[in-house]
Structure 1
Amino acid sequence: MEQFLAKFPDYRKALWLAARSEEEGLGNPSYQGWQWSDLEMHPTRVLKLVIEGIAKISMRTRRATYYLLKEPDLVKTVLKSSVLKK
């Protein structure tokens, strides 16, 4: 994860938005995940998170694809530590 963010620092905001979306969805039993538009990022760039093993597809319909972070706690920890290093 740290290597991925070192190589692609522009994904920090997207991962932060994904983690925040998942935190907000914890109380909602019908929460399916976040969509590419929630991350303010093009769908092909979101797919890179899936390919790298950071996110997974939680549900796919004709109209939308929903994603979840594979390890949300790790993502939060890495993002917090990278902020503290600066």
Structure 2
Amino acid sequence: MEQFLARFPDYRKALWLAARSEEEGLGNPSYQGWQWSDVEMHPTRVLKLVIEGIAKIGMRTRRATYYLLKEPDLVKTVLKSSVLKK
């Protein structure tokens, strides 16, 4: 994860937005995941998160694809530690 963010620092904001979306969805039993528009990133770039093993496809319909972070706690920890290093 840290290596990925070192290579692609522009994904930092998207991962933060994804983690926040998942936190907000914890209390909602019908929460399916976040979409590309929720993380303000083009769908092809979100797919890179899936390919790298950081996110997974939670649900796919004809109209939308919903994603979930594979390890949301790790993402939050890495993002917090990278902010503290600055």
Common fold: TM-score over 0.5: yes
The bucket for the TM-score relative to the shorter chain is over 0.9
TM-score, length of structure 1 as denominator length: 1.00
Query: Where does the alignment leave 5 or more consecutive residues of structure 1 unmatched?
Result: none
Query: Where does the alignment leave 5 or more consecutive residues of structure 2 unmatched?
Result: none
What is the CA-CA distance between 1:81 and the residue it aligns to?
0.1
What is the CA-CA distance between 1:60 and the residue it aligns to?
0.2
SS of 1:77's equivalent?
helix
Q: Distance in 2 between matches of 1:41 and 1:74?
A: 21
What is the CA-CA distance between 1:66 and the residue it aligns to?
0.2
- RMSD (CA atoms): 0.2
1:18-52 Cα distance to aligned partner (Å, 9 max, x none) = 00000000000000000000010000000000000
Map of 1:64 onto structure 2: 64
| Structure 1 stretches of at least 4 aligned residues deviating more than 6 Å after TM superposition | none
Q: Distance in 1 between matches of 2:17 and 2:64?
A: 18
State percent identity of aligned pairs: 97
Map of 2:40 onto structure 1: 40
What is the CA-CA distance between 1:11 and the residue it aligns to?
0.2
